[in-house]
Amino acid sequence: MERADVVLVYPQRAPAQGRHWIMPSLGLMYLSAALRRAGYSVRHIDHTFLERRDVLAEIERLRPSVIGIYCMITMQDEALSLAEQVRDRALTVVGGPYPSGEPDTFVDQFDLVAVGEGEETIVQVMQHLDDRRFEEIPGLVFRRDGEIVRTTPRVRSKDMSHLPLPYRGDIPNAEYIHYWRKHWKDATTPLMSTRGCPFRCDFCHKSVFGDLFSARPVESVVAEMHEIADLGYDHIWMSDDLFTLNYKRTFELAQAIEKEHLPLTWECLSRVTHVDQALFEQMHRAGCKRIFFGIESGDANVLKEMKKGITPDQARAAVEACVAAGIKAAGFFMVGYLGETTDSLIRSINFSSSLPLDYVSYTIAYPLPGTGFYDRVHERRQKGEWHKVRHNRLLFNTDFSENKLRAAILKGAIQHRLNKLHLRPAARAFELATNPLLRVLR
């Protein structure tokens, strides 16, 4: 009878309506690979296309010693309800971005909370299953005799060459491919070529990988791309926090990908600094179709409040170089941040629609727990449970109403759409007509 030492569960659910960017969990694929390499038997159950009863039946059948559950802020409810249903069957461990940032939220529902990178942690938990000396393992938080125990933080290594390739054998690849082709044309799956980001943007939460930037060897990234192509995918989402940070390494990786003639395209995240047209041209030759830039604001003062370390001029130069190289550019913007005024809001929205962007995302500034931004607005928090609130709600008291910010987002979206349809004069007329309207809104 089949048994598994460890069952890893990804509690994502494919929404019934609409089309969504749903992808499997790279984090659990890495844990799966690390456990396999250490000689343990593992099953990674991806909940995305399964009913809860099927997940529970599979756990029942495999009778694992340890159940590991991944959690992001959007999956909190699923992760906690699952933990409740399986807690008496095995040692339960939770990890991922949300538990890493706020471990105390999870200590009562799980036996162990893993903070930070989990590959070594999960293997060491297995090694200490019999003696239960979990306090010797770095990177854990748990409750013992009513007290919360925090072990020493797990120190990340600069070297990523020791990491095995993530194990994709348990992923419902056929279902993901079908979902993506049906909704988005290209079947997409994630790959992470670097970890960490050295920049300290005030709103950003890097609970798992932190500030230390480390890059995988180029050969291992190319080998993983071959695996992905063999599974039948068309496109890769490079899920690095900052794919282009190291100019020389990004250039060399793009050259290596180009040389392989892989039947894959890809997209990534970039800052607007440390890049130029020559790099973008090489990325384009390697199959890069789109780059997402975290521009966040078109106002220099708001960018300073965010500790972004960029200027609107740098943002424009990067976007224009990207488009000139034949790659689509996408931009992320945030409205209603600290220091936002009606002038900066109008400046930012109009700046975003003046750029040759293929896609623009506007969000209302969201203070994630564990960030400087969260600490700064903590006193002004609006009453009510704010973890449960989905993104894009105004969660603290500012000089603006949520309606004003939503109106600004709508204005930006319409201007962007008109520009994309090559109706520049109409976009300009709309911009001039709506600027005064936004001014009078409270």
pLDDT at 85 (0 to 100): 95
Residue 68: inside a domain, yes or no?
A: yes
Residue 167: inside a domain, yes or no?
A: no
Alpha-carbon distance of 341 to 220, in angstroms, equals: 47
Q: For residue 83, what are the CA distances in angstroms to 76, 86, 108, 123, 362?
A: 11, 5, 10, 20, 34
- Reading the block at residue 26, the tokens are 């790279």
Its sign, for the CA torsion 262, 263, 269, 274, is positive
Residue 124 structural domain: 6-150
- Reading the block at residue 167, the tokens are 């194990």
Task: Kindly state whether residues 414 and 279 are assigned to the same domain.
Answer: yes
Residue 212: inside a domain, yes or no?
A: yes
Task: Kindly state whether residues 136 and 258 are assigned to the same domain.
Answer: no
Please report, for the domain that includes residue 236, its CATH number. Answer: 3.20.20.70
Residue 158: inside a domain, yes or no?
A: no
Residue 157: inside a domain, yes or no?
A: no
For residue 221, give the DSSP letter.
H
pLDDT at 386 (0 to 100): 41
Task: Kindly state whether residues 309 and 363 are assigned to the same domain.
Answer: yes
Task: Kindly state whether residues 123 and 179 are assigned to the same domain.
Answer: no
CA angle 397, 431, 408 (to 5 degrees): 20
pLDDT at 384 (0 to 100): 44
pLDDT at 209 (0 to 100): 78
Which of 248-257, 336-345, 394-403 shows the lowest per-residue confidence on average (mean pLDDT)?
Answer: 394-403
pLDDT at 381 (0 to 100): 56
Alpha-carbon distance of 10 to 29, in angstroms, equals: 10
Residue 433: inside a domain, yes or no?
A: yes
Task: Kindly state whether residues 402 and 258 are assigned to the same domain.
Answer: yes
- Count of the separate structural domains present in the chain: 2
Please report, for the domain that includes residue 101, its CATH number. Answer: 3.40.50.280
pLDDT at 396 (0 to 100): 61
Per-residue pLDDT tens digits for 46-94: 999 999 999 999 999 999 999 999 999 889 999 999 999 999 999 999 9
Task: Answer yes or no: is pLDDT of 178 > 60.
Answer: yes
Task: Kindly state whether residues 26 and 114 are assigned to the same domain.
Answer: yes
Per-residue pLDDT tens digits for 367-419: 877 788 888 887 665 544 444 444 445 556 566 788 899 999 999 999 999 99
Residue 19: inside a domain, yes or no?
A: yes
Task: Kindly state whether residues 302 and 378 are assigned to the same domain.
Answer: yes
pLDDT at 19 (0 to 100): 79
Task: Kindly state whether residues 129 and 57 are assigned to the same domain.
Answer: yes
pLDDT at 388 (0 to 100): 42
